[in-house]
Amino acid sequence: MNAPNLEYAELAPLLTVFGAAVIGVLIEAFAPRRVRHPVQVALALLALLAALVQVILLAGTEVVGAVGAVVIDGPALFLQGTILVMSIISIAFFAERRLESGGDAFAPSASTLPGGEEEKVLVRQKRLQTEVYPLTMFAITGMLLFPAANDLLVMFVALEVLSLPLYLLCGMARRRRLLSQEAALKYFLLGAFSSAIFLFGAAFVYGFAGTLRFSEISEALTAQIGQEELLLTGVGLMAVGLLFKVGAVPFHSWTPDVYQGAPTPVTGFMAACTKIAAFGAMVRLFYVAFGGLRTDWQPMLWAVAIATMAVGAIVGLTQTDIKRMLAYSSIAHAGFVLTALVAADETATAAILFYLATYGFATVGAFAVVTLVRDSGGEATHLAKWTGLGKRAPILAGTFALFLLAFAGIPMTSGFVGKLAVFTAAVDGGATPLVVIGVVASAVAAFYYVRVIVLMFFSEPAAESPSIAVPSVWTTVGITLGAAATLLLGLVPGPLLDLAQAAATFVR
């Protein structure tokens, strides 16, 4: 038996991050505790930067590699680049050690009983752990592979590689440990189910097509007659798995709980990168493998898109916790992306790529701002605590307002151009009613973004108002990057739109 021939150059970004994750584990095992933090952060950042450089150098490559299981093409590279940039910013937030009096945002030992004696001892000893870095690197490896997968099985493996570390990361919050552990358990149970359903669907599709490769499935759609029920069941089940990951209704119920319970830097990372990777995989699966079946899956995605936009916008109105509000906002955004995905025309891919990038920057930035508003109980995430923030911390509140305005899609922010792009693709693809629902949902969602701005700027500060923590350079740089990108992509979106357009061709 011959060993398969791997395209090492094209797979380099993936392998770099994966290698760094493995080295990270070894560091955890062998390096003394006090040097672990700087070494892990440096290793993670270096590996991600190196991977980003490799992605940039690979630009324009169109290769089907790893014996056809992985494809490196425009969309894959664009998404990998986006994920890497978001990850670099997120790692900066992970590395923040000045905000929390205990050390950082993560539990000293996630496996101890919340509130137990052992935990108290560890907190007193100021024990800090660094296992988040290798875990995150594993998750990023999965995310990089997910949108590049060209094979049902590889796609499933990528899904698992990215999901499992995230389940763990969600349970690692230093404060409100029970909430965090509950989030992790919920995410794990529902995620495991959805992965299983995805696998089940893949099996059906394999049963129909007799192959796992996307291009061959696509050929089988035209060549094969009969057994369509097998195929359609398979497509439906796989869609469930992917819609779960992007947080679309009716598979969204985990989102608010997990976003709220997870350590906030992890929430930001997860909200941005998971969504980017999952939409990337979804676009490839539906366009490349099931493109010939679009008249069958379009009605389903129409319904899902409408429900997602409506629930995200309307239920978001009633939230009183900033992280839950942002969770519903992310659900609504998934709906907006779906409008373009439904359209399934040549402009849709570019629009989705651009939208995901703009959404990512605003999301990591917004969650990072949440880490800075604190009171004695940790982060002050209740909206009532945010009253009058604009008076006491105008720059911070202004930055957060910028992110909110971008979420609302106000012109001069990246969110507007993103919405314009996806809605244009949708109208072009004949989904005008979806766009009308989309703008109405945007108007409804705008209400809760604006409400926060009102609270921050027009209300007198509350009596027991939280303090604004002064972050170290890590968080400052991260938020600045997010805000700058949000503003810049709103004013001069041309270059990135160009890049997204150039990258929008799938290779079969």
Partner 1 sequence: MTFPWLTTLIALPALGAVLTALVPAGRGTLAKQVALAFSLITLIVGGLITSHYLFDLDLGVEAERYEWIPEIGASWALDVNGISLALIALTVVSTPIIALAMWREAEAEKRDPKPFFALLLAVEALTLVAFASRDVLLFYLVFEAMLIPLYFLIGMYGGPQRRYAAVKFLLYNLAGGLLMLAAVIGLYVQSIDAGSATFFLPDLVALDIDVTTQRWLFLGFMIAFAIKAPLWPFHTWLPDAVAEATPSNAALLTGVADKVGTFGMIALALPLFPDASREFAPVIVTLAVISIIYGALLAIGQTDMKRLIGYTSISHFGFIVLGVFALTGEAAAGATLYMINHGLSTIALFVVVGFMIARRGSRQVGDYGGVQKPAPKLAGVFLFAALSGLALPPLSTFVSEFLVISGTFLRYREAAIVATLGIVLAALYMLWLYQRTMTGPVRPEVEKTPDLRRREIAIATPLVGLILLIGFFPKPLVDVIDEAVAPTLVEVDADRPEPLAPVAEVDGDDDNEGTDQ
CB of 361 to partner 1, least distance (A): 18
Non-local CB neighbours of 170 within 8 Å, separated by 6+ positions: 180, 183, 184, 187, 258, 261, 262, 263, 266, 270
Q: If binding is defined by CB under 8 A, does position 333 make contact with partner 1?
A: no
Among 185, 446, 462, 507, binds partner 1 (CB under 8 A): 446
DSSP of 6-41, one letter per residue? P-HHHHHHHHHHHHHHHHHHHHHHHS-HHHHHHHHH
Which stretch, 146-154, 287-295, 404-412, 471-479, contacts partner 1 (CB under 8 A)? Answer: 404-412
Contacts with partner 1 by CB under 8 A: the residue count is: 37
CB of 359 to partner 1, least distance (A): 17
Q: If binding is defined by CB under 8 A, does position 346 make contact with partner 1?
A: no
Among 457, 477, 487, 488, binds partner 1 (CB under 8 A): 457
Q: If binding is defined by CB under 8 A, does position 165 make contact with partner 1?
A: no
| Dihedrals phi, psi of 151, to nearest 5 degrees | -160, 135
Whether the link from the prior residue into 433 is cis, omega within 30° of 0, is: no
Q: If binding is defined by CB under 8 A, does position 459 make contact with partner 1?
A: yes
Judged by CB, which is closer to partner 1: 197, or 405?
405
Alpha-carbon gap, residue 364 to 304, rounded angstroms:
25
Judged by CB, which is closer to partner 1: 166, or 350?
350
Residue 321 pairs with which residues in a beta bridge? 382
CB of 434 to partner 1, least distance (A): 10
Q: If binding is defined by CB under 8 A, does position 454 make contact with partner 1?
A: yes
435: burial class by Cβ within 10 Å (0-12, 13-18, 19+)? buried
Residue 9: how many other CB atoms lie within 10 Å: 14
Query: Would you state the structure tokens that stand for residue 1, as one six-digit string?
Result: 């038996």
Measured CA to CA in angstroms, residue 367 lies from 93, 130, 308 at distances of 10, 21, 21
Alpha-carbon gap, residue 352 to 341, rounded angstroms:
7
CB of 485 to partner 1, least distance (A): 16
18 CA to centre of own chain: 19
Contact 323/370 with Cβ under 8 angstroms? yes
264: burial class by Cβ within 10 Å (0-12, 13-18, 19+)? buried
Q: If binding is defined by CB under 8 A, does position 462 make contact with partner 1?
A: no
Q: If binding is defined by CB under 8 A, does position 189 make contact with partner 1?
A: no
Alpha-carbon gap, residue 9 to 82, rounded angstroms:
19
Contact 72/15 with Cβ under 8 angstroms? no
Which stretch, 58-66, 72-80, 138-146, 413-421, contacts partner 1 (CB under 8 A)? Answer: 413-421
Judged by CB, which is closer to partner 1: 152, or 435?
435
Contact 198/240 with Cβ under 8 angstroms? yes
Judged by CB, which is closer to partner 1: 252, or 419?
419
Among 191, 360, 365, 493, binds partner 1 (CB under 8 A): 493
Q: If binding is defined by CB under 8 A, does position 423 make contact with partner 1?
A: yes
Q: If binding is defined by CB under 8 A, does position 53 make contact with partner 1?
A: no
Among 22, 26, 189, 440, binds partner 1 (CB under 8 A): 440
Which stretch, 155-163, 302-310, 359-367, 435-443, contacts partner 1 (CB under 8 A)? Answer: 435-443
Among 38, 60, 207, 494, binds partner 1 (CB under 8 A): 494
Judged by CB, which is closer to partner 1: 423, or 474?
423
CB of 422 to partner 1, least distance (A): 10
Q: If binding is defined by CB under 8 A, does position 395 make contact with partner 1?
A: no
DSSP of 32-44, one letter per residue? -HHHHHHHHHHHH
- What's the N-to-C CA distance of the chain in angstroms? 27
Q: If binding is defined by CB under 8 A, does position 384 make contact with partner 1?
A: no
Residue 103 pairs with which residues in a beta bridge? 100
Among 109, 112, 233, 424, binds partner 1 (CB under 8 A): 424
Residue 190: how many other CB atoms lie within 10 Å: 16
Judged by CB, which is closer to partner 1: 113, or 492?
492
CB of 184 to partner 1, least distance (A): 37
CB of 385 to partner 1, least distance (A): 18
Alpha-carbon gap, residue 294 to 298, rounded angstroms:
6
Q: If binding is defined by CB under 8 A, does position 447 make contact with partner 1?
A: yes
Q: If binding is defined by CB under 8 A, does position 303 make contact with partner 1?
A: no
CB of 330 to partner 1, least distance (A): 19
Task: Tell which residue, 193, 222, 224, has the closest CA to residue 208.
Answer: 224
Q: If binding is defined by CB under 8 A, does position 428 make contact with partner 1?
A: yes
Alpha-carbon gap, residue 422 to 428, rounded angstroms:
10
Question: For binding to partner 1 (CB under 8 A), which residues are involved?
Answer: 405, 408-412, 416-417, 419-421, 423-424, 427-428, 432, 435-436, 438-440, 442-443, 446-447, 450-451, 454, 457-459, 492-494, 497-498, 501
